[in-house]
Amino acid sequence: MFNLSRYFSTVSFILIVMAAGVLGPLYRVLSIQQMTELAEHRNVAMAQVFESFLGSPLASLMSASLGRDAAFLKNSVESEQLRGSVAALMRNTSVVKVKIYSRIGVTVFSSDSAQLGEDKLKNPGFRSAMSGKVLSELTHRNTINTFEGERSDIDVLSSYVPIVNKDGSIEGVFELYQDVSPFVSQLERSLWWVTACVFAVFMALYLLQFLVVRRAQGILEEQEGRIKAARDTLEIQVDARTEELRRANTQLKAEISERRQAESKLNYLAYHDPLTGLANRRCFIERLEESLRESGRHAQQLAVLFIDLDQFKQVNDSLGHGVGDELLVAVAARLSEHVRLIDMLARLGGDEFICLMEAVRSEDEVAVLAREIIAAFELPFGLGEHELFLSASIGISLFPGDAQGMVDLMRNADTAMYRAKAIGRGQYHFYTPEMTRDAKERIRMETLLRRALDNGELSVHLQPQVDTRSERLVGAEALLRWNSPELGQVMPSRFIPLAEESGIIIPLGNWVLRETCRQVMQWRRSGFDLPQVSVNLSVKQLERPEFIETLGNILDETGMDAHCLKLELTESVVMGVGDAHGLLQRLRDFGISLALDDFGTGYSSLSYLKMLPVQQLKIDQSFVTGIGRNSDDEAIIRTVMELATSLNFEVVAEGVETVEQAEFLAKLGCQQLQGYLHGKAVAPDEFRARWALPL
């Protein structure tokens, strides 16, 4: 830190010395000047005294000396007279020597006679006096000749004073030597005192200020200490804060990059299917909208192809979702690799894929693409130990022909895909406007069907099943009927597939089951005992985890004897259910009989069938219709009969309309017949009226 005391001490000391050094001499100069002035006045006064007292001897000497030499002046009478007068005047005064110069600068009188006759014409004092001005000079003389003899170590003030005549002219010059030694020594003493006092005052001042400064320095040092401590604390705080900020900054950076990553991941996820990595629905929609705008602007066609895998559900159900997912990934990869003409491929969800073809020139071009997609499924998909054969159904809709907007275009492709599926597996179909009409009709029917159950528009009809030989009633099949106020009588072939698709089949099927059991039990209580009743069961019902419980409840509620109940399942239903064997066994555990409906239309493996707890096969009516007309149908019936006999299945033939058909079947050993020959499905009252034995 800047040392204030030291700085102050040094500067003050220098200033004091300088002040003392300047003030002392200044005082001396001023004092000498004053003293000189006083002494000069005294000399002038003395000169006037001399002049008035020495008037005539002086005038005579002046005139006598003109043109004379020094010897004359020493020995002249005038000179002697003057000497005596001057000595008398000088006595008891401080004037120690007097010299008189004539107008021409000759020393005409001097206390020291050796100086007589000296030329002083060029002397500045003389010249000044001759011009009327007094000039004085203070000098220190080691020795000087005075009237009273030689004196040593003396301070004298010599003044040149003009001798003025009465007419104002200057006659000559006096030089008076005044002894000022007492004044000078007095002056020297006071000078010493003054210097000492000044020095002492300055020193006192210095000390006082030094104390103040030192105190100030102390305060400053104290303040500095505090400031330093505060600064240190501040520095520590600043360091800590800096570190904190650095850490926060690092954290912030990490967070920002994490967020960016998350954002880009989110962005990726927002537009991609996480399983297959293909574009997702949103991505496809945005691209399609863009393509539609472009195609509209350039008057181009584009096609949307809706792809649905045909047997994916079975794979998922039988091999698990893991394999299902692997399969979807493999399908996505194969489609991406092998199909050349696709402009964009996306997965909409589940087993639905969609693709876009831009700048379409003709329908044929789209058909080529569709065939290419279908061909991509020709080779099996190898997933670990499994080798799976799969096919896809494709629905196609075109812009601008089939629809103008994105939503309609996609919906039409979806509708066309359903039609393709309806034709058979591995097919493609272009959209037609009738499909929309059908679809609308289906939607209307679906709405009406939902209402039908609550409105009591549904009823259960019963169709007799008779023993082939005795023709006695052995059972009946419960068949659902819908009498709609809007649509009239609607046959199950129209509304059952719709109910299955929409899921309405579940409440509907359960209602049929309950209603049938209730009816049979009511008959039994009133004396009409139907030996057995068959109820059709949809795969959707069977798939519900709570189905067994519901079934148990229905049996409990209605009091139905499970042994009198038969459930009909189609071949494909049984094949499509995951754990078919386990499920059917649980039904069997109730005591319920099981029949395979529409037998022969599916492609069931016989060895698999044998393992199922099924008791009855129902030969499909399409084969029965062929009896007597189609040898192939007859051959199939024979084979089924042989198989059933050897595997110990009971056989029912459905759709038996003629005696010929009945006889053919009887010959082959078919146990039961069902068909218009013995009766159509009719309302319960009518059924009872026809089949109840008269009491």
Chain residues in the site for ligand C2E (CB under 6 A) = 463, 479-480, 491-493, 496, 509, 512, 536-538, 568, 597-598, 621, 654-657, 674-676, 681
State which residue, 326 or 598, has the beta carbon closest to ligand C2E: 598
626 binds, among Mg ion, ligand C2E, none (CB under 5 to 8 A by kind): none
State which residue, 463 or 502, has the beta carbon closest to Mg ion: 463
Task: Identify the burial level of 328 via C-beta atoms within 10 angstroms of its C-beta, where 0-12 means exposed, 13-18 middle and 19 or more buried.
Answer: buried
Min dist CB 673 to Mg ion, Å, is 13
Min dist CB 442 to Mg ion, Å, is 23
Min dist CB 628 to ligand C2E, Å, is 15
Interacting residues with Mg ion between 307 and 336 (CB under 5 A): none
Min dist CB 309 to ligand C2E, Å, is 25
State which residue, 51 or 597, has the beta carbon closest to ligand C2E: 597
State which residue, 171 or 571, has the beta carbon closest to ligand C2E: 571
C-alpha–C-alpha distance, residues 332 and 327, integer Å: 9
Q: Is 597 in the site for Mg ion (CB under 5 A)?
A: yes
State which residue, 13 or 676, has the beta carbon closest to ligand C2E: 676
- Please state the length of the chain: 695
State which residue, 175 or 568, has the beta carbon closest to ligand C2E: 568
Q: What is the DSSP letter of 178?
A: E
C-alpha–C-alpha distance, residues 21 and 414, integer Å: 120
In Å, how far are 227, 235, 247 from 242, measured between CA atoms? 21, 10, 8
Among 598, 623, 664, 687, binds Mg ion (CB under 5 A): 598
Q: Is 273 in the site for Mg ion (CB under 5 A)?
A: no
365 binds, among ligand C2E, Mg ion, none (CB under 5 to 8 A by kind): none
C-alpha–C-alpha distance, residues 65 and 82, integer Å: 13
492 binds, among Mg ion, ligand C2E, none (CB under 5 to 8 A by kind): ligand C2E
Min dist CB 674 to ligand C2E, Å, is 6
608 binds, among ligand C2E, Mg ion, none (CB under 5 to 8 A by kind): none
480 binds, among ligand C2E, Mg ion, none (CB under 5 to 8 A by kind): ligand C2E
Report long-range pairs for 141-148 (Cβ below 8 Å, ≥24 apart): 144/96, 144/97, 144/177, 145/97, 145/111, 145/112, 145/114, 146/96, 146/97, 146/111, 146/177, 147/86, 147/87, 147/90, 147/96, 147/97, 147/111, 148/96
675 binds, among ligand C2E, Mg ion, none (CB under 5 to 8 A by kind): ligand C2E
State which residue, 46 or 520, has the beta carbon closest to ligand C2E: 520
Nearest to 537 by CA among 572, 561, 486, 489: 572
State which residue, 427 or 621, has the beta carbon closest to Mg ion: 621
Nearest to 316 by CA among 304, 306, 328: 328
676 binds, among ligand C2E, Mg ion, none (CB under 5 to 8 A by kind): ligand C2E
In Å, how far are 293, 399, 410, 429 from 402, measured between CA atoms? 16, 6, 10, 13
Q: What is the DSSP letter of 601?
A: S
C-alpha–C-alpha distance, residues 453 and 455, integer Å: 6
Cα-Cα-Cα-Cα dihedral sign, residues 261, 263, 266, 270: negative
Min dist CB 594 to ligand C2E, Å, is 14
Min dist CB 670 to ligand C2E, Å, is 14
State which residue, 130 or 512, has the beta carbon closest to ligand C2E: 512
496 binds, among ligand C2E, Mg ion, none (CB under 5 to 8 A by kind): ligand C2E
655 binds, among Mg ion, ligand C2E, none (CB under 5 to 8 A by kind): ligand C2E
State which residue, 324 or 600, has the beta carbon closest to Mg ion: 600
The answer to whether 134 and 36 are in contact (CB under 8 A) is: no
Min dist CB 532 to ligand C2E, Å, is 15
Min dist CB 678 to ligand C2E, Å, is 9
State which residue, 24 or 492, has the beta carbon closest to ligand C2E: 492
Min dist CB 550 to Mg ion, Å, is 20
State which residue, 417 or 595, has the beta carbon closest to Mg ion: 595
Rg (CA), the chain: 75
State which residue, 58 or 537, has the beta carbon closest to ligand C2E: 537
Cis peptide before 400 (omega within 30 of 0): yes
Min dist CB 568 to Mg ion, Å, is 4
The answer to whether 567 and 595 are in contact (CB under 8 A) is: yes
Q: Where are the beta strands (DSSP E) in 273-372?
A: 301-309, 344-349, 352-360
Question: Which window, 114-122, 351-359, 546-554, 563-571, contacts Mg ion (CB under 5 A)?
Answer: 563-571
Min dist CB 658 to ligand C2E, Å, is 9
C-alpha–C-alpha distance, residues 474 and 471, integer Å: 9
Question: Total binding residues for Mg ion by CB under 5 A?
Answer: 4
Binding mask 566-595 for Mg ion (x = CB under 5 A): --x---------------------------
One-letter amino acid of 318: S
Cα-Cα-Cα-Cα dihedral sign, residues 639, 643, 646, 649: negative
Interacting residues with Mg ion between 500 and 559 (CB under 5 A): 536
CA end-to-end span of the chain: 134
Question: Mapping DSSP to helix (H, G, I), strand (E, B) and coil, where does residue 576 land?
Answer: helix
Q: 70-107 burial by CB neighbour count: b if 16+ within 10 A, else e? A: beebeebebbebbbeebeebbeeebbbbbbbbbbebbb
C-alpha–C-alpha distance, residues 506 and 513, integer Å: 11
Min dist CB 683 to ligand C2E, Å, is 13
681 binds, among Mg ion, ligand C2E, none (CB under 5 to 8 A by kind): ligand C2E
Which stretches of 54-101 are DSSP H helices? 55-65, 70-75, 77-90
The answer to whether 416 and 398 are in contact (CB under 8 A) is: no
13 binds, among Mg ion, ligand C2E, none (CB under 5 to 8 A by kind): none
Residues lying near Mg ion in the complex (CB under 5 A): 536, 568, 597-598
